[in-house]
Amino acid sequence: MNFYHTRFSEKFEEAIKALLPILGIVLILCFTIAPVQPGILLLFLLGGALITVGMMFFTLGAELAMTPMGEKAGAKMASTRRLNIVLFLCFFLGFIITISEPDLQVLAEQVPAVPNHILIIAVACGVGFFLVVSALRMLFSCALSPLLVGFYILVFFMAFQIPEDFLAVAFDSGGVTTGPITVPFIMALGIGFAAVRSDRHAENDSFGLVALCSIGPILAVLLLGLLYHPSDTGYTPPSLPVIENSRELWHYFMHGFPKYMKEIAFSLLPIILFFAVFQFFALRLKKKKLLRITVGLIYTYIGLVLFLTGANTGFMPAGNYLGQTLAGFPYRWILIPIGMIIGYFIVKAEPAVYVLTEQVEEITSGAIPGKAMSISLSLGVACSAGLSMIRVLTGISIFWFILPGYAIALILSFFVPKIFTAIAFDSGGVSSGPMTATFLLPFAMGACQTVGGNIVRDAFGIVAMVAMTPLITIQILGAVYRFRSLHSDSASSASPTCLDNWEDDDIIEL
């Protein structure tokens, strides 16, 4: 019990530190230049409290259950000599995890020209296929950069063939389907695969699964765009709630709890069943470890229900209302710096970002500090939010940002240490999580609605932008490291790819 008490205290402190800046920024705006309705403000505050407690439970649950489950399953799958079984299990796992992802249902509603069940099955097949590609890459030690270049060339070739109104939704799908449930398990699966190998590239190859799996949904949605030739991609934003008293506030949240309890249970069930089958036929873990994993799964469930209820019920209306209010000023350009500040801090509250930084620090034995990762991700998301606000205000096509952005990221991949490339492309899928979908996206939609823009063309795409810029900032971190290590006094006695002598302050200096 003492262990859990200590860990809960640590996780609660981390959650408070992650969420306080964004709460403070929004409250300062609400009490100064952007007043909001009292009901919306109460929704935001109560949502923030739920998110804080939810993050505490989720991060501890992921540490106790999701990560060990993924690592043990990955190691057991990789150790078998029957490749066909490994590949089938990877496809099946990618398919069932994706098809139960709650955000995928939301994505399907945004594409009215394509039947919902067709889109969901296509995206799930895309993730399953790329999980197979990821497994083959790790088992046969293939370089990540050439694969990324080849697949993204295919992505942009197909993107030129579909209507422009469909582009933003297609690129958003890559970030939407790599949610807080799938990311910790898939990342841990990669660590498990790499643990079986003993070569010096195993550490580098332990990352990159999320990077490749994020391509699958984009290709699937683009392919559907070619087959269905969608012309109706209109989107009607939901109306803002009107809260007149405390009873209505309570009923509003009570309406959300059952919905997310059902969704999260449905989402976690495939992973639990998959692991249960592995445990029965292959793993045979001791009761103590199984009990620890069971407790972790309960924490994960409670955490995600609280987190998503707070984010969707409390943060989404506040983000939309704030965007509408700020865009109504004569000096609309203020959206850009405010969006960047919000983006810088909001990524720290993404639940899967914590999992990524913890695993990076663990795999590299602290050589790539979590603090440096966090700052790099925050800078990337700040740039994403600023560029997205420029799109909202000007209506510039997302192509003018996505195409050069990915080109820069792919070029950098040939000049930085491999592990930075794998971590960077993983971080793109991790950063574009529920906080982006429930605050930044409604913020952009509210602003776009006020300025009279096209919501689908100009506001959607912010998830894709958030998924893109960390690819550049994390790799710049790697480039700075390589430059510093090659020109340091100890370069003669250390390998250019060794991270042992790299200090936190040197990395953060970027």
* 3-state SS track over 279-315: HHHHHCCCHHHHHHHHHHHHHHHHHHHHHHHHHHHHH
191 assigned to some structural domain = yes
13 assigned to some structural domain = no
Q: Are 459 and 441 in contact (CB under 8 A)?
A: yes
User: What one-letter code names the amino acid at 361?
Assistant: E
Percent of the chain scored above 90 by pLDDT? 30
Burial profile 213-242: b = 16 or more Cβ within 10 angstroms, e = fewer: bbbbbbbbbbebbeebebeebebeeeebbe
491 assigned to some structural domain = no
Q: Are 455 and 433 in contact (CB under 8 A)?
A: no
493 assigned to some structural domain = no
CA angle 117, 120, 126 (to 5 degrees): 140
The residue range of the domain holding 296 is: 23-486+498-508
CA distance 376 to 480: 12
- Mean pLDDT, consecutive 10-residue stretches, the chain (510 aa), reads 76 89 92 89 92 92 88 82 85 85 68 77 90 87 89 92 79 77 80 72 73 90 81 62 82 87 89 87 86 92 92 90 91 93 90 80 75 88 94 91 93 88 86 83 91 85 90 89 69 44 43
Closest CA to 308 of 47, 27, 109, 66: 47
58-115 pLDDT tens trace: 989 988 988 888 888 888 887 776 888 888 988 988 888 888 776 676 667 666 667 8
Helix (H, G, I), strand (E, B) or coil at 201: coil
Closest CA to 383 of 315, 337, 440, 434: 337
139 assigned to some structural domain = yes
242 assigned to some structural domain = yes
Based on C-alpha coordinates, what's the Rg of the chain? 22
User: What one-letter code names the amino acid at 460?
Assistant: F
In sequence order, which ranges of 328-440 are alpha helices (DSSP H)?
335-346, 351-363, 370-394, 399-412, 418-431, 434-435
**What total of structural domains would you count in the chain?**
1
CA distance 499 to 480: 12
Q: Which two tokens stand for residue 375?
A: 């700052």
For every residue of 27-46, DSSP letters joined together read: HHHHHTTS---HHHHHHHHH
Indicate yes or no: pTM above 0.75.
yes
pLDDT at 195: 74
464 assigned to some structural domain = yes
5 assigned to some structural domain = no
Q: Are 87 and 78 in contact (CB under 8 A)?
A: no
CA distance 154 to 60: 39
Which H or E run includes 63? none
